């Protein structure tokens, strides 16, 4: 029994010794104070951190380490901590500051840990100097501001190159203003406010990402055209002009998507129905086909097959926009030397228009989310797009009482078929 007690005592002494070593050689400042805020211990790193020797602070109030303007708040925080003592980070998100012996004020991060001994309460404060971190954060903010300035300059140059983009941008700003106005009107509804906030956040992220590449392309091509204007290489000039036109068209499509979603969400798109005969359906689809062929890269083709004799009643502009969205997606996600088929057919009840591609396909999991705003399939992350195209198609089909069927497999292409009731 005596041996066991001796071992227990020896282990206790060892633990105290180990704690003393940790306290003395820790790489953070450690200050121990009693319930009256008197400092009772001060480790080596704290001496280096504050410039005080240990004997200078023992018995002094902890507030000797706190700038004058923060002392009242510090005392209140400490009383609250002692009322509910548990390990935690001090400050609740506020910036905290300490003061050195020479009067230098510096930012710190403080963690508190309580302990009791013989009924007396003590507080251990772990103090880290975060001056360097704050400097790095300031540098980051400055770099971010400079990047925003550069982005604004690119936008300005782009506006000079293409008036239409400028006009679309103003329309987008107006749409955003309307969106913000709607958000304020719905602020009484917590769920609606949350949805609006998420939509705005996704839009800013998506817009900044999707605008960057075409704007950079326009700027670089314009620079090269200006720099090599006197060279006789017409082929090189046409190459950069084509890049500018392609990027501007891409920006136009992005802006069109944003504006379409805004109008659909606000109920500004109306279904103006009229009777459309089979010959008019043929002409409408053929017109879309011809207009979209200019987006095709060499080696890609659109095959148009429309032999429907059905008549329908619908809004021609909405139907045209639906087909444009589907064909645009087919072009975007198809590879080289591929064929896109556009097929019209009808039975006694419905007219069907199918857009079929040989592209990258869609996984079963992604198929569940295709109607969601801003959704991008996992295998389409590196392909430019807003994630709004199919969301717009679904909204349009609701307006004209149509439906959409999708069949797809990864790496085997996709088939999108819209159905409209016949007369």
Both tokens of 147, joined, read 């990047």
The residues near 105 (Cβ < 8 Å, ≥ 6 apart) are 67, 97, 98, 99
Distance between CA atoms of residues 186 and 271, nearest Å: 26
- The domain total for the chain is 3
Q: Phi and psi at residue 218, in whole multiples of 5°?
A: -60, -45
How large a percentage of the chain has pLDDT more than 90?
Answer: 37
Q: Phi and psi at residue 124, in whole multiples of 5°?
A: -100, 125
The confidence score (pLDDT) of residue 34 equals 92
The stretch 122-137 carries a mean pLDDT of: 93
Distance between CA atoms of residues 31 and 46, nearest Å: 7
The stretch 15-41 carries a mean pLDDT of: 78
The residues near 359 (Cβ < 8 Å, ≥ 6 apart) are 330, 333, 334, 335, 338, 413, 414
Distance between CA atoms of residues 42 and 218, nearest Å: 62
Q: Is 199 exposed, middle or buried (0-12, 13-18, 19+ CB in 10 A)?
A: middle
Both tokens of 240, joined, read 């950069």
Distance between CA atoms of residues 55 and 30, nearest Å: 15
Claim to verify: residue 318 and residue 224 sit in the same structural domain: no
Claim to verify: residue 284 and residue 399 sit in the same structural domain: yes
Domain C-terminal end among 129, 151, 169: 129
Claim to verify: residue 283 and residue 409 sit in the same structural domain: yes
Claim to verify: residue 279 and residue 411 sit in the same structural domain: yes
The stretch 306-325 carries a mean pLDDT of: 90
Claim to verify: residue 285 and residue 417 sit in the same structural domain: yes
The confidence score (pLDDT) of residue 174 equals 82
Higher pLDDT, 260 or 135: 135
Asked whether the predicted pLDDT for residue 326 surpasses 60, the reply is: yes
Claim to verify: residue 113 and residue 138 sit in the same structural domain: no
The confidence score (pLDDT) of residue 10 equals 39
Higher pLDDT, 108 or 173: 108
Residue identified by tokens 């295998």 is 379
The stretch 183-208 carries a mean pLDDT of: 58
User: Which range has highest mean pLDDT (13-17, 224-228, 264-268, 295-299)?
Assistant: 295-299
Domain C-terminal end among 129, 151, 175: 129
Claim to verify: residue 319 and residue 205 sit in the same structural domain: no
CB neighbourhood size of 308 (10 A): 20
CATH number at residue 93: 3.30.450.20
Asked whether the predicted pLDDT for residue 1 surpasses 50, the reply is: no
CB neighbourhood size of 300 (10 A): 19
Asked whether the predicted pLDDT for residue 219 surpasses 70, the reply is: no
CATH number at residue 360: 3.30.565.10
User: Which range has highest mean pLDDT (152-161, 177-186, 299-308, 314-323)?
Assistant: 314-323
Residue identified by tokens 């009693």 is 34
| 16 band by pLDDT with thresholds 50, 70 and 90 | very low
Distance between CA atoms of residues 244 and 290, nearest Å: 21
HSE-up of residue 29 (Cα within 13 Å, Cβ side): 22
Give one DSSP letter per residue of 162-187, joined into a string.
-HHHHHHHHHHHHHHHHHHHHHHHTT
On average, the pLDDT of the chain sits at 81
Distance between CA atoms of residues 331 and 297, nearest Å: 9
Both tokens of 88, joined, read 């935690």
The stretch 61-85 carries a mean pLDDT of: 90
HSE-up of residue 1 (Cα within 13 Å, Cβ side): 0
Instruction: Say if residues 215 and 228 touch (Cβ distance below 8 Å).
Output: no
Range of the domain at 232: 134-265
Asked whether the predicted pLDDT for residue 187 surpasses 80, the reply is: no
Domain C-terminal end among 80, 98, 129: 129
Distance between CA atoms of residues 141 and 146, nearest Å: 9
Claim to verify: residue 285 and residue 414 sit in the same structural domain: yes
The confidence score (pLDDT) of residue 14 equals 37
Asked whether the predicted pLDDT for residue 240 surpasses 90, the reply is: no
* pLDDT tens string 76-122: 888 888 888 888 888 677 889 999 999 999 999 999 999 888 888 89
pTM higher than 0.85: no
Q: Given the DSSP bridges, would you call strands 274-276 and 312-314 parallel, antiparallel or unpaired?
A: antiparallel
Claim to verify: residue 373 and residue 288 sit in the same structural domain: yes
Claim to verify: residue 334 and residue 242 sit in the same structural domain: no
The confidence score (pLDDT) of residue 369 equals 87
| 215 band by pLDDT with thresholds 50, 70 and 90 | low
| 190 band by pLDDT with thresholds 50, 70 and 90 | low
The confidence score (pLDDT) of residue 4 equals 44
Claim to verify: residue 192 and residue 290 sit in the same structural domain: no
User: Which range has highest mean pLDDT (109-118, 197-206, 247-256)?
Assistant: 109-118
Claim to verify: residue 169 and residue 125 sit in the same structural domain: no
The confidence score (pLDDT) of residue 421 equals 94
């Amino acid at each position: 029994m005596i041996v066991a007690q001796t071992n227990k005592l020896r282990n206790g002494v060892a633990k105290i010794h180990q704690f003393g070593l940790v306290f003395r050689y820790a790489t953070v400042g450690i200050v121990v104070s009693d319930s009256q805020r008197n400092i009772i211990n001060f480790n080596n790193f704290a001496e280096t951190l504050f410039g005080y020797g240990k004997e200078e602070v023992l018995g002094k109030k902890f507030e000797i380490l706190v700038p004058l303007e923060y002392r009242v708040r510090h005392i209140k925080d400490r009383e609250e901590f002692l009322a509910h003592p548990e390990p935690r980070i001090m400050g609740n998100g506020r910036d905290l500051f300490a003061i050195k012996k020479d009067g230098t004020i510096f930012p710190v991060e403080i963690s508190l840990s309580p302990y009791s001994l013989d009924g007396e309460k003590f507080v251990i404060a772990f103090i880290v100097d975060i001056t360097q971190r704050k400097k790095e954060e300031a540098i980051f903010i400055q770099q971010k501001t400079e990047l925003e300035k550069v982005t604004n300059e690119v936008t300005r140059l782009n506006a000079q190159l293409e008036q239409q983009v400028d006009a679309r941008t103003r329309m987008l700003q107006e749409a955003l203003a309307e969106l913000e106005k709607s958000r304020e009107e719905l602020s009484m509804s917590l769920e609606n406010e949350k949805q609006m906030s998420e939509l705005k956040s996704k839009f800013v992220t998506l817009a900044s990402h999707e605008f960057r590449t075409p704007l950079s392309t326009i700027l670089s091509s314009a620079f090269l055209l200006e720099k090599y204007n006197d060279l006789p290489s017409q082929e090189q000039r046409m190459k950069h002009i084509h890049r500018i036109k392609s990027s501007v068209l891409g920006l136009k499509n992005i802006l069109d998507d944003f504006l379409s979603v805004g109008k659909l969400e606000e109920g500004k798109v109306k279904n103006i129905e009229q009777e459309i005969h089979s010959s008019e359906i043929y002409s409408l689809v053929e017109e879309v086909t011809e207009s979209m062929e200019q987006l095709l890269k060499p080696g890609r083709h659109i095959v148009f097959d429309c032999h429907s004799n059905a008549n329908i009643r619908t809004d021609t502009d909405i139907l045209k926009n639906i087909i444009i969205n589907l064909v645009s997606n087919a072009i975007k996600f198809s590879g080289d030397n591929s064929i896109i088929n556009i097929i019209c057919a009808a039975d006694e009840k419905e007219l069907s228009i199918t857009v079929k591609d040989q592209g990258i396909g869609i996984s079963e999991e992604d198929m569940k989310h295709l109607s969601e705003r801003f959704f991008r399939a996992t295998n389409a992350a590196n392909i430019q797009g807003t994630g709004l195209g199919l969301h717009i198609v679904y909204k349009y089909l609701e307006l004209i009482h149509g439906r959409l069927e999708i069949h797809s497999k990864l790496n085997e292409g996709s088939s999108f078929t819209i159905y409209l009731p016949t007369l």
